[in-house]
A and B are shown apart, each in its own frame.
Chain A
Amino acid sequence: MSCSVFDSKPESRPDWKAYVLCELGQDAHRQAEAHLAACSICHEEVATLRLTLDTLSTLREEEMSRRIAFVSDKVFEPRWWQRGFNKTLFSPTFAAGVLVAIAILIHGSMQTGRTSQAQVDAAVTKAVSQVETRHMQEIQAMYEHLEVRDKQVANMYLSNAALIR
């Protein structure tokens, strides 16, 4: 038996591989089918190709050993209010602020009702007088220091003038 298409024009041979792979256009597919029905050689060729593809399809897909896990699963992600809560409560600044606020409140509650206005006035007067006294001492010390320096400068001028002469 011989195939007229094969024998006459090898270059016009139907693309059987494209045919079995369903890559032929509608017209080409119809022509190929018509030829197949009449040509046992081409029929044999196509049968062998199909057998090869069937054999290839016996290779089974493998299961993966683990899921792709580069993004965290949403189920384990905290909700928006949990994220906000965690972020504020566990930040050092927030915790320090809370501690200071608690300390002020405790201190304030302990002092409330025990101090009179007179005690406050006396404490303020005492503090002001202490500050004034300290300022006066500092100013006095500054004057004394300046006087000493003036004398030193004057002496230096005098000794320089004596040398020049």
Chain B
Amino acid sequence: MIFREVEDPDLIAKARRGDVEAYNLLVSRWEKRVYNYLLRLVSNREDAMDVSQEVFLKAYQSLPKLDDPARFSGWLFRIAHNEAFSMLRRKRPETELAGEPRPADLNPRLLPMELSLAVETALGRLNPDQREAVLLKVYQGFKFEEMAEILDCPVSTVKSRLYTALDLLKATLAPMQKTALRGES
């Protein structure tokens, strides 16, 4: 017998008919990715958790409005993007007092290697738009067109943000990595 994993569009169709279990399965497939994306955006675990919950609640409520179930991931990340920036706007005074996002807030025990810490620091130095472009492309694997839909901006803007971010990251990380590689050899 051949087992086929249930595809997201099938689960979406079931969830639209009120099948809570199908939606739970959909959530379990996407929650970690959404949470990590939000975590890098808001730099705080509790906030990332709260926003993740909000994102999936909004997604459930808006599921009937999703035109093309095949584009669920982009649609979900669009909601996540909106929720994250809405939360950041609400917390702006606090954020301004705290200064720029601090990668050191993230649990260092989970990222023991120097390189991982360096990546966190380098990402933290990018502006929020650049950082989000890197998160969507490098960590979530979205295409430029999908990113443009998620961020609601032209592809040229997406590329500009991402390329600038890559130049900055390259200047910081590549020499470090090269040194590490030389040390290994």
Contacts and interface: CB of A to CB of B under 8 A. Distances in A.
A112 to B, nearest CB: 52
Contact of A68 (B56, B111, B159): B56
B10 to A, nearest CB: 17
Interface in A39-64: 48-49, 51-64
A74 B19 CA distance: 10
Given A58-B113, A58-B119, A73 B24 contact: yes
B185 interface: no
A147 to B, nearest CB: 75
Contacts of A51: 173-174, 177-178
Contacts, number: 93
B116 A70 contact: no
Given A70-B57, A74-B24, A56 B169 contact: yes
Contacts of A65: 45, 49
Given A49-B170, A51-B177, A72-B20, A58 B28 contact: no
Contacts of A52: 166, 169-170, 173-174, 177
B40 to A, nearest CB: 8
Nearest to B171: A52
B119 A56 contact: yes
B87 to A, nearest CB: 16
A71 interface: yes
A149 interface: no
A4 B138 CA distance: 30
Contacts of B178: 51
A17 interface: yes
A69 B53 CA distance: 8
B120 A59 contact: yes
Nearest to B107: A62
Interface of B: 20-21, 23-24, 27-28, 31-33, 35-36, 39, 45, 49, 52-53, 56-57, 60, 106-107, 110-111, 113, 115-116, 118-120, 123, 134, 137-139, 143-144, 159, 162-163, 166, 169-170, 173-174, 176-178
Given A17-B162, A61-B36, A71-B60, 19 more contacts: A17-B166, A18-B159, A48-B174, A51-B178, A52-B170, A55-B173, A58-B116, A59-B119, A59-B139, A60-B116, A61-B32, A62-B35, A62-B36, A62-B106, A64-B31, A69-B53, A70-B53, A70-B56, A74-B20
